[in-house]
């Protein structure tokens, strides 16, 4: 991509209504624009990052054995009346009437709809266990939308639903998802802590929120620093690994403020290990057993020909909120660096030449060669002055820069990883460095 052909509306000043750094950065680098309160358009840069995050979330769901589908954004009120949540969900639900005066709503979540699909199509224990997910926009008429896409009204969620024959199997599904979440967040270089949480309007009796520590977060967590001593890389989706995981996370105190028990915390966690911090909730998982399968009548036949209401859980990741969480973790003092797995471009070529001089020709040739080698790079071919080019790209946060200026020989390029010293390399080593850097992404 050539910057002169791209749509990247950069804003120099910090927008006065953006209170946290992720919101400021997203506005300044033209990732999003507000359409109306709590509703945003995703401009090309933001959209590209959002899609990369979505694809990693999808990849990890698939690895955990979940199957992708797609449910609509608009749902019928009928099933919500059956579950009893049509009224209890409250004003966060956006209710709509169509021209026939039928009651519809913009889905804030999908427990009802997926249970209806299950009930109408699955009758036998032979289809279980089953994990179904979709990645779809949700609408919640939040009373106070704020912090840009962190707490907005329309947001992208990945929601998975598990179906099992009994409580024991349902617990396996629950920990499968917990493991898959830890693996997912690690791919963004985020350390997410599962903390015991309130189940709120989703319901049920077992629930964990996944929190990324950040001072600007809206959640407060209380935990033990020992909880971090855990490696998920080698764990697989088998009984042994899942047991290890569940026993580690049940061993240490971890709670949101809703469920916090001061006495228990003081007793259980040594002073030096106590962590009381703010964080961003990037995921939330729930086990609610037969809550929806009873109200919506989702029944399977067992091997012994008995009828059983299926045991369910639901598992959400705030895909669009993750964009903000990743920024909160990586942006400081006008300086952003995207993790390699989600960077909008793999490298930027900064051309310091003018018009059609030899430097510009060299930058163009390099651009063609990198594209030919299947790298996704952006060439700053604008006539902005060098210092504003550098400033802009420190803000945009592409982790690697290749600076093409008049100082260097024909086959020499200045290669710089953000936050590190630059080095002079030739084309072949430049290509092998980039290949190596992106080999695991």
Alpha helices by DSSP H, 311-425: 319-330, 358-372, 386-396
Beta strand 274-289 with 311-318: parallel, antiparallel or unpaired?
Answer: antiparallel
Q: Contact between 176 and ligand P5A (CB under 6 A)?
A: no
The helix/strand/coil state of 236 is coil
140 binds ligand P5A (CB under 6 A): yes
Q: What is the DSSP letter of 26?
A: H
**Which distant-in-sequence residues (6+ apart) come within 8 Å of 411 by Cβ?**
426, 427
- Shorter beta-carbon distance to ligand P5A: residue 10 or 71: 71
Of the listed pieces 75-83, 314-322, 330-338, 379-387, which binds ligand P5A according to CB under 6 A? 314-322
Our CB check for ligand P5A shows the closer of 318 and 344 to be 318
Strands 311-318 and 192-196 come out as unpaired
Q: How far is CA 106 from CA 76, 109, 155, 265, in A?
A: 9, 9, 12, 40
- Look at the alpha carbons of 12, 17, 20, 25 in this order and tell me if their dihedral is positive or negative: negative
139 scored as a contact of ligand P5A (CB under 6 A): no
Q: Is 326 in the site for ligand P5A (CB under 6 A)?
A: no
Minimum CB distance to ligand P5A smaller for 115 or for 232: 115
80 lines the binding site for ligand P5A (CB under 6 A): no
Determine, following the binding rule CB under 6 A, whether residue 142 of this chain makes contact with ligand P5A: yes
Site string for ligand P5A, 271-300 (x = CB under 6 A): ----------xxxx-x--------------
- β-strand pairing of 335-336 with 331-332: antiparallel
Q: Which residue is nearest to ligand P5A (CB)?
A: 318
Residue 328 interacts with ligand P5A (CB under 6 A)?
no
Q: CB of 247: closest distance to ligand P5A in angstroms?
A: 24
Interface region with ligand P5A, contact rule CB under 6 A, candidates 13-21, 43-51, 233-241, 309-317: 309-317
Asked if 318 is part of the footprint of ligand P5A (rule: CB under 6 A), the reply reads yes
Cβ atoms 195, 281 nearer than 8 A: no
Do residues 286 and 148 lie in contact, with contact meaning Cβ atoms separated by under 8 Å? no
Binding of residue 178 to ligand P5A (CB under 6 A): no
End-to-end CA distance of the chain: 20
* Cα diameter, the chain: 81
Rounded to whole angstroms, the Cα distance separating 152 from 154 reads 6
Residue choice 106, 222, 292, 315 for contact with ligand P5A (CB under 6 A): 315
Nearest-angstrom CA–CA distance, 379 and 401? 10
Q: 317 and 346 in contact (C-beta within 8 Å)?
A: no
109 binds ligand P5A (CB under 6 A): yes
Region from 15-23, 122-130, 308-316, 382-390 binding ligand P5A, contact rule CB under 6 A? 308-316
Q: Does 321 bind ligand P5A (CB under 6 A)?
A: yes
61-69, 115-123, 316-324, 345-353 -> range binding ligand P5A (CB under 6 A): 316-324
Binding residues among 13-32 for ligand P5A as defined by CB under 6 A: none
Q: Which stretch binds ligand P5A (CB under 6 A): 119-127, 147-155, 179-187, 236-244?
A: 147-155
| Kind of pairing between the strands at 377-380 and 347-351 | parallel
User: Quick check: 345 and 377 in contact, CB under 8 A?
Assistant: yes
Closest CB 155 distance from ligand P5A, rounded Å: 4
Comparing CA positions, the residue from 199, 201, 198 lying closest to residue 87 is: 201
Q: Considering beta carbons, is residue 138 or 416 the nearer one to ligand P5A? A: 138
Residues that bind ligand P5A (CB under 6 A): 109, 140, 142, 151-152, 155, 157, 159, 202, 281-284, 286, 314-316, 318, 321
């Amino acid at each position: 991509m050539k910057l002169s052909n791209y749509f990247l509306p950069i804003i120099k000043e910090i927008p006065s209504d953006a209170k946290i750094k992720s919101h400021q950065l997203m506005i300044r680098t033209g990732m999003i624009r507000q359409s109306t309160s709590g509703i945003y358009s995703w401009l090309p840069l933001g959209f590209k990052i959002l899609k990369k995050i979505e694809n990693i979330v999808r990849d990890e769901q698939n690895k955990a054995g979940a199957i992708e589908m797609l449910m609509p954004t608009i749902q019928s009120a009928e099933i919500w009346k059956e579950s009893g949540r049509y009224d209890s969900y409250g004003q966060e639900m956006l209710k709509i009437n169509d021209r026939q005066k039928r009651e519809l709503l913009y889905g804030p979540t999908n427990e009802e709809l997926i249970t209806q699909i299950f009930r109408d199509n699955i009758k036998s224990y032979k289809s279980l266990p089953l994990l179904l997910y979709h990645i779809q926009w949700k609408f919640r008429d939040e009373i106070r939308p704020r912090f840009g896409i962190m707490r907005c009204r329309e947001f992208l969620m990945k929601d998975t639903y598990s179906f099992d024959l009994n409580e024991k199997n349902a617990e396996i599904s629950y920990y499968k998802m917990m493991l898959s979440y830890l693996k997912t967040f690690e791919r963004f270089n985020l350390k997410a802590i599962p903390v015991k949480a309130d189940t709120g309007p989703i319901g049920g009796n077992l629930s964990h929120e996944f929190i990324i520590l950040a001072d600007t977060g809206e959640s407060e967590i209380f935990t033990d620093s020992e909880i971090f001593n855990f490696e998920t890389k080698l764990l697989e989706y088998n009984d042994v690994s899942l047991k290890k995981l569940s026993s580690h996370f049940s061993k240490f105190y971890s709670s949101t403020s809703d469920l916090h028990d001061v006495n228990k915390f003081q007793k259980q966690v040594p002073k030096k290990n106590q962590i009381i911090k703010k964080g961003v909730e990037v995921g939330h998982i729930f086990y609610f057993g037969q809550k929806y399968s009873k109200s919506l009548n989702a029944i399977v036949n067992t091997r012994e020909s008995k009828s059983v209401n299926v045991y369910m859980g639901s598992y959400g990741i705030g895909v669009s909120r993750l964009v903000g969480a990743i920024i909160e973790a990586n942006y400081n003092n006008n300086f952003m660096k995207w993790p390699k797995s989600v960077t909008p471009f793999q490298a930027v070529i900064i051309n310091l030449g003018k018009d059609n001089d030899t430097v510009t020709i060299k930058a163009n040739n390099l651009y063609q060669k990198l594209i030919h080698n299947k790298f996704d790079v952006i060439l700053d071919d604008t006539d902005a002055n060098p210092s504003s080019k550098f400033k802009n790209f420190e803000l945009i946060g592409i982790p690697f820069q290749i600076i093409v200026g008049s100082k260097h020989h024909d086959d020499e390029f200045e290669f710089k990883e953000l936050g590190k010293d630059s080095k002079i390399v030739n084309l072949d080593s430049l290509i092998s460095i980039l290949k190596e850097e992106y080999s695991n992404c």
